Structure 1
Amino acid sequence: MNVRATLRSLAVTLCATLLSTACGGPEEQEFPEDPRSPEVIAMDSALGSLDMHNLMSNTDIAGYQTVTPDQVQSFLVSKGSFLAGYRDPAFGNKTAATLIVERATAYTINPVYILARIETESGLIRSGKSTNLAKATGCGCPDGSGCDAAYTGFGKQVECSAKVFRNYLRDLEAGRTTVSGWKAGVSKNTLDPCTVRPANNATAALYTYTPWVGAYASQCGTSRWGGSSLVALLYREFRDSRNWGGPCVVGGDILTRYNQIGGAGGVLGPCTTNELPTPDGVGRFNHFQNGSIYWTPETGAWEVHGLIRARWESLGWETSALGYPITGEKPTPDGVGRFNHFKKGTTLGSIYWTPETGAWEVHGLIRAKWESLGWETSVLGYPTTNEMTTPDGVGRYNHFKKGTTLGSIYWTPATGAHEVHGRIREKWESLGWERGSLGYPVSDEYAVSEGRESEFQKGFLTFNAATGAVSVRMK
């Protein structure tokens, strides 16, 4: 990975590490207290057992498509759950069922899995009373201590659990290990201890969240309650207890756009959620088998799918620097790539994708400069990074690539946004980028008698077309 790209991901990695530790099991061989009543313990003893290497399937986790708040509410009522009558004041007094479905669906996690996670961690599903709302899913709540304030409360717990689990799956789907080292097909020791070789991403993600097997797997496991095996068995029991299916509804401007791009037979496929409000309260969305359509009164309804959607999701959906889509996915004029444009307030952004470069975002004044140069048809080509902060903390930049030529756009409040590419960029890099003797670029590359030149805060880099050499001239 580029050193500069590493800087942006550091905070994300640290957060993921914190959440992995908090959401997972204890760091030592200490197991949490069992929140279940004797009656529930007896019920769980009849659940049977699972293969510890194959606790859940990827399809189980992704099966969020048609679960509705009404179905979850009916389920909670049938279980005599405390949550059946609960509304969260921190989330606009939404019902527990609504929060579970909304947040699970936003991160494309099956709400029935969230129900199983809640029951395993706090016993809230099958209990008519609770003192465990603050740690409902165990996310950000190390065993033996209280929850991090950032994750305290039912709605925050559901949000945290769904988001963290999706982050684990995203790493696994990209071929990486999770933050704590789990990966499908790779053996690793749990805290029981057992040696587990996860058969799929779903099982690897379960062990990342709760790194012990528990008493409900046939090959190994502690006799203590809980563990990933109990989550999986409760999911199976909850899943099989009723028909969670049902038609989803697409309407209004979202339906109009959906039909324009082929409806269920088009690129998005059949709907997988009803229309839902976005977390920021501004827009509405439907998820589909292969993508999503997002709508606001200002931007209208537009689809986003594939790797462009995955990049937008990784940035934080509409809460990211990009905001909402203002176009559907389109082919680039050069026929090589695909893109969506976005808008947040008055700031425009985009995600561009090619098979070679992948999907990356560019926004604000750096995007405006790239646009002025000719987008991907310019000397810079396509972005190869998101917008990132420079190591000195002063500026922002994106890297680009066209053929074998690398380029960048660097911006600071003092210098504005300027491009640097090719041999001049190579020389600037060798001198230490913006922390070197020249500082930031204050011009784009321009023609001079001997070849090409770029001006920087403290000097010039000149490319001699005859010799191929790049010389430095200080101011």
Structure 2
Amino acid sequence: MHRVAKLWAAVTAIVMVAAGLTGLGAVTAPAVAASGSDFNAGMIISDEVFYDSSTMSVGDIQAFLNARVPSCRSGYTCLKDYAQSTASQSAKSEGCAAYPGGWQSAAEIIWRVANVCGINPRALIVLLEKEQSLITDTWPSSRQYRSATGYGCPDTSDCDTNYYGFFNQVYHAAWQFKKYQARPDRAYRAGRNNTIQWHPNASCGSSQVFIENQATAGLYLYTPYRPNQAALDNLYGVGDSCSAYGNRNFWRIFTDWFGSTGYTVKGAFAEFYRANGGPEGFLGAPTSNEMVVDGGWKQRFSGGTLFTRVGTPVFAVRGLMRDYYRGVGEQADGLGWPVEQQVSLGNGNWYQAFERGRILVTGSTVKAVRGEIAKKYLSVGAQQGRLGFPTGDEAWGSGGWLQRFQGGVIASSTAGTFVITGTIQKRFDAAGGAAGGLGWPTEDERSVGSDWSQKFTSGAIVVRKSVDRVVKGDLGAYYVRAGAEASALGWPSSNEARLGTGWTQSFEQGILYSSSVGTRAVPNALGPQYQAAGGPTGSLGWPTSDAVTKDARVSQSFQNGQLSTNPDVAVAGAVYREYARVGGASSALGMPTEAEAKVTGGVRQRFVGGIVYVTSARAFVVQGDLGRGYLAAGDVASKFGVPTSQERQSGIGWAQTFSSGVLYSSPAGVYAVMGAIRGYHDANGGVQGRLGWPSGAETKVDGGWRQSFTGGTVYAKDGRAPIVVWGDIGTYYAGAGEQAGAAGWPVSAERARPGGWIQEFDNGTVHNSPAGTALVGGDILRAYAAAGGSDSQVKWPVSDATVVGGGFSQVFVGGSYYARGGRVFVVQGAIATAYAGDGGAGGSLGWPTGNEWWSGREWRQDFERGSIIVDSAGARIVRR
């Protein structure tokens, strides 16, 4: 009988702690203060720690006991002074070696039991304390000694006298833990979820615990309760009525007296640790276990952290670098994993390389370069290049990262990663950096003859003949997009200047203007005309488009009109305003192809890429695929009528409403949806509904109309509302000739039935199920429906009806229907199997002459030339 948890010992241990009788004193391993938040129910103590019998000598144990109780109360024998005669024990198959008996002290008993059974003596010391407070009690009773480890003391009865006595208790408790280890297939197992109660009172409930290792499983087998949050919140006191304390106290006492229950150094880390002096080396003592992180492992020590991954050596990150690296998230930071050891640069300077950067130390200053900035830094010579050491960390702002160095800056954004130095850097900083009007660099500085230039996302800095010009803000962004000094504008000939409500800047081949309506360049070819009209403050206003050259003609749109080097077709008034709104000649409309013309309800002007239609109240543009389809149909004179809305994007395509329908453009093509079909389409979610986009034009067919969509086909028989046929039924219907086929026009929408779908048509009902898709019509349909349809014994049809010997037959999952001469019979079950084996209606039995019937002893169905009978012996054919 092994021990099952008792709460009395746990409560006693709590009282002893509260009384201040569990002082720490000298220990043989570094101890840490326990915190309830650190308790791990799945790993109370590691196997490496629990089964390590080499942690203390007899002398270590005696010194520890002496430190716990320096003086014992008069008249009592404390554990440090306890001794007894012990009986020799033979070796045990579960894992304890032979034990030599004799007169032995408590310290010697603990040491010998630990060594013959392979249990950590510290674990036995903690067990004695948490069960009977024997380690710290200054006036222990005989009862405490007789049940020292609580072995053989179940919750439901008194302790077993066979296991009384200090040696008996220590030996059998250790042996029990070895039995758990030797035969782990028990109630609580490592490597799986286990249901563990909070308290012996089952009404307190239970929880799921994934037990990580065998030693923890053994503790739960010995004391089968888990501390609840109340017990952990008051780690040195009591919790609530559902709190259990045994395993909490074991973990807490071990942690307080001996340090972590699980800090071990093993494998490649252990080899590196030993080679570098172990605890006495630069790493010091471990402060965590090995941790699996992001595809590798790491372990913390007081003086550094070790890292490794499969196929890589062990790397140490230590000192100031360790502090910096940990502060930014270690391997999860943009630096990634270390890829070499620290390298000394002399004079107190160090660096260490990582996957995506490096950390540099100069004196007491630590900075890192990472990611794209690190790549750039290395490409220009790193700390030995012109940039030198970093003087600051990378900083985020205005959409990118910037890091300063002794010799310049590296700026990284979506535009790329580039170095800025010298006069250009000074101009960059003076302009407000990336947050100023220039934005981020898009190239490294480059020489253009004897001049220098560097582009930015919103401008450029040029140094020409010792005169530097900055083109920034909206003007700069335009200039850079155009190609800076290599663009049609050439080199800047002035800095920017304020003009009315906007800005202007002169270049060799034109002038840039920026205002609330945009930033545009007016080329020298149009400049004299524009200036003669008063420029931006004149009648034309600010440019609203770039100049466009086509067929040797240069044209450009302004707020109130359009200039051209060779006037041909004018765009003016309301048409011009709409044309300008979408981008003028630079839009999808392009150049005009004819003059404005009056049409029904308004005016229309055609362009290369579409039309502009204007009424007294509204103006509309039809362009792109919609425009081409509209133009091809005859635009405002077509069956679509005039536009009544602008185009609108909807998912994968575009739509535009006209007076007689909606024109859609998608990967399926450009098609109109009109009339009753349009109403049905709109009512069913339009292109966002199951029908989706039109995939064909509305088509006139005999007796009605049809139109296909990506999700199905809509049929509108004359005099009826439209109905959609889709999915598997739609596929069947299309293959059967649609409305011209056997089914005729649909008369109802598809609806669900248990196990499938049905849809009614003029000439029958199409059924769809895993058995197939088939039309059931005529006499068979009437009989099938009367029997319950798909809910009947025959269930769903397997195929369409076929002509057989002057009649029709149709196969269903559970049988077949036969119709001839106005009469319909069903053959099902075992009779159907026998009938099919005989050849069905074409076999020797011929057509059925009635349905199956029960004679009182057997089922029978009659046929033209015989019967099929089914009884307990099976089915048999009786021929006439």
- Shorter-chain TM-score tier: 0.3 to 0.5
Give the alignment's TM-score, normalised by structure 2.
0.28
Considering fraction of residues, name the structure with more helix: 1
Larger Rg: 2
Give the alignment's TM-score, normalised by structure 1.
0.47
Relative contact order: is structure 1 or structure 2 higher (C-alpha 8 Å, sep ≥ 6)?
1
